Amino acid sequence: EFQERVAQGIVDGINEYFNMANPTFNQEVGFTFCLLKEFQREVCQLNPNRFPGCREILCFSTP
């Protein structure tokens, strides 16, 4: 249960951060965005029904 709460907190934090962030990222920030989204996708795959923020997560490619 502790691990699930930690994972939920991470997912919530990522969602909150990128909801506030400007959608125009430079290459470095865009790459970090992709890594975080990939991690979030893996967390959601563990238990997609447990985390309400889970949905199809797309990662844009950086130039």
Task: Write the CB contacts of 55 (distance below 8 Å, at least 6 apart in sequence).
Answer: none
Q: Does the pLDDT at position 12 exceed 70?
A: yes
CA–CA dist 28, 7 (Å, integer): 25
pTM above 0.75, yes or no: no
Q: Does the pLDDT at position 10 exceed 70?
A: yes
pLDDT tens string 13-58 = 776 666 565 555 445 555 566 666 666 666 666 665 555 554 444 4
